[in-house]
Structure 1
Amino acid sequence: MLLTDDGGPDGADGTAGGADPGIAHVHGLGIDPADGALMVATHSGLFRIDEGRGGAVSRVGDSFQDTMGFTVAGPNHYLGSGHPDLAGFEAGQPGLLGLIESTDGGETWQPLSLAGEADFHGLAVVDETLYGWDSTSGGLMATTDHRSWETRSTVDLLGFAVDPSDADHVLLGSPTGLMKSTDGGRTWTSAEGPDLVSLSWNADAGLWGIDAGGQVWQGGEPGWEPAGRLAGEPHAFLATSDAFYTASADADGITTIYGSPDGEKWEPIFRDDG
Structure 2
Amino acid sequence: MPNSRRTRTSPIVGIVGTALIAVFLVACSAQVSDDKAGQSVAPSTPGVEFTSELDHLHGLHINADGTVLAGTHRGLFAIGDSGDTVRVGDSDDDLMGLAGTTGSDTLFSSGHPGPSSSAANPLGLRTSSDGGRTWTDSSLAGKVDFHSLATDGKTLVGFDGVSGVKVSMDQGMSWESGAAVGAASLALTDSGAWAVTSSGVQYSDDNARTFTDVPGAPSLVLIAGASDALWGVDQDGFAWRSREGKDWEKRANVGAVEALTAASYDRAYAATSQSLYALN
SS at 1:30 equivalent: strand
SS at 1:207 equivalent: strand
Q: Is structure 2 residue 221 aligned with structure 1 residue 197?
A: yes
Q: Identity over the aligned pairs, expressed in percent?
A: 36
TM-score w.r.t. length of structure 2: 0.74
1:72 is aligned to: 100
- When the two chains are superposed, the root-mean-square deviation of aligned CA atoms in Å is 2.3
* Shift of residue 227, structure 1, vs aligned partner: 1.3
1:121 is aligned to: 147
Amino acid aligned to 2:75 = G
Q: Distance in 2 between matches of 1:49 and 1:207?
A: 23
Contact 1:25/1:255 (8 A) holds in 2: no
Amino acid aligned to 1:156 = G
Highest relative contact order (Cα 8 Å, sep 6+), 1 or 2? 2
Amino acid aligned to 2:152 = V
Q: Is structure 2 residue 236 aligned with structure 1 residue 213?
A: yes
Contact 1:134/1:141 (8 A) holds in 2: no
TM-score w.r.t. length of structure 1: 0.75
SS at 1:63 equivalent: coil
2:186 is aligned to: 160
1:45 is aligned to: 75
1:87 is aligned to: 116
* Shift of residue 210, structure 1, vs aligned partner: 0.5
Q: Residues 146 and 229 from structure 1, CA distance in 2 versus in 1: closer, same or farther, beyond 3 angstroms?
A: same
58, 77, 89: which is aligned to 1:27?
58
Amino acid aligned to 1:95 = N
The structure carrying a bigger strand percent of its residues is 1
* Shift of residue 96, structure 1, vs aligned partner: 0.5
Structure 1 unaligned residues grouped into runs of 5+: 1-12, 15-20, 249-253, 263-274
Contact 2:100/2:152 (8 A) holds in 1: no
233, 252, 262: which is aligned to 1:239?
262
Contact 2:159/2:182 (8 A) holds in 1: no
Q: Distance in 1 between matches of 2:153 and 2:89?
A: 28
Q: Residues 222 and 258 from structure 1, CA distance in 2 versus in 1: closer, same or farther, beyond 3 angstroms?
A: closer
Structure 2 unaligned residues grouped into runs of 5+: 3-51
Contact 2:157/2:165 (8 A) holds in 1: no
